[in-house]
Amino acid sequence: VRVINNHLHSTAITVRDDDYLFGRQFLSDTTGGEKIRNIFRRFRDNSTLRAAQADTIARAMASMPRSMIVCGDFNDTPMSYTYRTMSRGMTDAFRAAGKGYSYTYKGFMNVLRIDYVLFSDEFECVDYRVLYDADYSDHHPVVVRLKKANKS
C-alpha cells in the first residue's frame, strides 16, 4: 500500500482577511477596493501553485501500484481543479461513508472541506468522522477507517 500524505500550498487568506470580509469592514473602508483585490490576487496565485502541485502528485500516483491512500490538507474545495485532479480514479472517504454536511477548516465561516482521505478500489470505507471537538490546529482532524475490499 502506498500512502501519500500531503499539505498543499496555503490559500494565504489570514484570520484578518477573514474578519475583514465577513465582518463587512470593507463597506466602510475607503481603501477597501485595494485590500479586496489583494486578497483575491493571493487566492488566485496560490490556487495556481496548488494546481501545479496536484499535477505533480497525480503523475506520481499514476506511476505507482494501484493500492493507494492519498490524504492530507489540499487547501482546496471539492469543486477545485486540485481536488478533481488528485481524486481521479480514487474514492473520497467522505462521499463513501460521510453523513450530512462536513467541514474541516475552522475558519471562513466553518464551511470548507479542504482535508481529504482518498483511496483506491482495493479498499472500502467503514467509517468517516471529523473530530469537531479537537483543538489541535485551525483544521479539524479527519478519522477514517478502511478495510480491504471484498473482491468477488
Give per-residue pLDDT as tens, 62-84.
999 889 999 999 999 999 999 99
Task: Assess whether pLDDT exceeds 60 at residue 27.
Answer: no
pLDDT value of position 89:
96
Which has the closest alpha carbon to 76: 31, 99, 43, 125?
A: 43
Q: Which three cell numbers stand for residue 114?
A: 479542504
Strand, coil or helix: 2: strand
Q: What is the pLDDT of residues 101-137, one digit of tens each?
A: 999 988 767 788 999 999 999 999 999 999 999 998 9
To the nearest whole percent, how much of the chain has pLDDT over 70? 86
Task: Please tell me the distance from the alpha carbon of residue 2 to that of residue 122, in angstroms, as a whole number.
Answer: 12
* Nearest alpha-carbon partner for 91 in 61, 48, 121: 121
Angle between helical axes of 15-22 and 32-62 (0-180°, round to 10): 130
* Number of alpha carbons in the 13 Å side-chain half-sphere of residue 37: 4
Q: pTM for the complete prediction?
A: 0.85
String of DSSP letters for 56-96: HHHHHHHTS-S-EEEEEE--S-TTSHHHHHHHTTSEEHHHH
| Sheet architecture: strand order including 2-7 | 2-7, 68-73, 115-119, 91-92
143: its cell numbers: 478519522
